[in-house]
Amino acid sequence: MDHSNKTAVSEISKEQKEELISRALAKLPDAYAPYSHFHVAAALLCRDGEIYTGCNVENASYPAGICAERSAFSAAVSGGKRQFDAIAIAGGMDGKPQDYCAPCGICRQFMREFVHPDQFIILLAKSPSEYREYTLSQLLPESFGPENLGKA
Ligand code: THU
């Protein structure tokens, strides 16, 4: 698949990863999850170095809620950003990230719209020093994206 419109990321340093994870962890108290009590937060690194954060926002009409990852992406895209290098995700019951919180399928597809699947880094974090690292391709193989509709 041709991803020529999405330029490759230059390497992200360990310090940048830790900073991104810290920003996600710091956002956890803002999660609005009165129904599931499962709090999730995300910090999205834009190509220009800016970081946007997001959290899950639930709703009494359950399907109307939004996940942390789409919240962060929506904030960044609304802020005019179009190029992204990495996202850190943290979540757990009552805001305690005791395990790694993987993005749901809808969020994986949502990210796919804006990133190079082989280059975009997804950090699943329990703490700044405890994290797992994936590319979007690893979490969403053989994906469908804008290029399939001639929107490269
Ligand atoms: N959630 C996220 O925010 N991100 C994910 O990738 C997994 C699930 C939220 C949605 C809902 O508010 C709660 O976690 C329980 O599913």
Do 42 and 30 form a contact (C-beta atoms < 8 A)? Answer: no
86 Cα: distance to centroid of ligand 1 (angstroms)? 19
Write out pLDDT tens, residues 55-79.
Answer: 999 999 999 999 999 999 999 999 9
2 Cα: distance to centroid of ligand 1 (angstroms)? 31
Sheet holding 51-55, edge to edge: 51-55, 38-46, 84-93, 121-127, 130-135
Indicate the pTM of the whole model. 0.94
Do 140 and 110 form a contact (C-beta atoms < 8 A)? Answer: no
Give the integer Cα–Cα distance in Å for 130 and 20: 13
> Quick one: residue 94, left, alpha or beta (phi over 0 = left, psi -120 to 50 = alpha)?
left
Whether 111 shows a pLDDT value over 90: the answer reads yes
Q: Which residues line ligand 1 (CB under 6 A)?
A: 33, 36, 38, 40, 56, 58, 65, 67-69, 103-104, 107
